[in-house]
Amino acid sequence: MGRIKAHAVAAGVIVVLSLGGAGTLGAKEPEGVVIRNKSVFRYAVSADTIEQQSNVQYDEMTRQAATKHALLPPDNVQTQRMRAIANRLLPHAAKFNERAKDWKWEINVLDSPQINAFCMPGGKIAVFTGILNKLQLTDDEAALVMGHEIGHALYEHARARAGKQMALGATRAVAGLIFGQLGDLVGAGAGSLATLKFSRGDETQADLIGLELAARAGYDPRAGITLWQKMSKASQGAPPQWMSTHPSGETRIQTIKQHIPEVLALYEKAKLEQK
């Protein structure tokens, strides 16, 4: 009886291995970067809750900025430039998050010397003139910045952070994160969904998503190298707000170099299609 069971188990293993091998041989390698799965902690908080609060905070932020004459108008050259870049990136966002198809995307430029940019949950984007002017960003580099920030929203890093805090019992911290009042973002900054500090793992994910979004939109992913060289130079030993808890510039440059081959063909294809 034991021998029969042994043969049956062995036969089962052979069948499983055969099917697995056939599936592997027949599978097509995915295009673009390979990123680990989203954090399970995001399930502790409703996506609708995070996105609705994001809308409230973003509306309040842009209202405050307009009051201070710090919200660049739609006909401003930088606003038009950033919206044009976003229009090329966003058609590719749904690959990383199906909800992105239904987001009401907004892109604004704030007149502030901060080297900063962000994309809040639900697709609310702000780019500061400081990062554009001080770093003299090319369109390719600006696309990498915007793609990175969009990556945070697509991979729901804010939602996951709130969920993790909730799972750890930090009720007051979660309440402050989700329902807290928005401060003066144009000035000293504020604790809100726009100013979260993400983990290094989150930052790497956002870098890779941004790399692929830029490539698919026809922006040269190799600009990520010059972008982070500029970032490192601007930091002068003290990371600007946009880099705060991020991996070091050299680490990011090495990561980008490692993954450029995964997206270069996408970039070249996009450039041909745009001709």
DSSP letters of 161-227? HHHHHHHTT-HHHHHHHHHPPP--TTTT--SSTTSPPPPHHHHHHHHHHHHHHHHHTT--TTHHHHH
Q: Report pTM.
A: 0.79
Evaluate if residue 190 carries a pLDDT over 60: no
- In the residue annotation, 268 being an active-site residue is answered as no
pLDDT over 70, % of the chain: 73
Q: CB atoms < 10 A from the CB of 258, how many? A: 10
Per-residue confidence (pLDDT) for residue 126, from 0 to 100: 97
The more confidently predicted of residues 112 and 244 is 112
Predicted confidence (pLDDT) at residue 45 exceeds the cutoff of 90: no
Domain boundaries, the chain: 33-274
Question: How far apart are the C-alpha atoms of 90 and 101, rounded to whole Å?
Answer: 9
Per residue in 163-178, pLDDT tens?
A: 877 766 654 554 455 4
Candidate list 106, 141, 149, 262, residue with the active-site label: 149
Confidence class of residue 191 from pLDDT cuts 50, 70 and 90? very low
Query: 3-state DSSP call for residue 117?
Result: strand
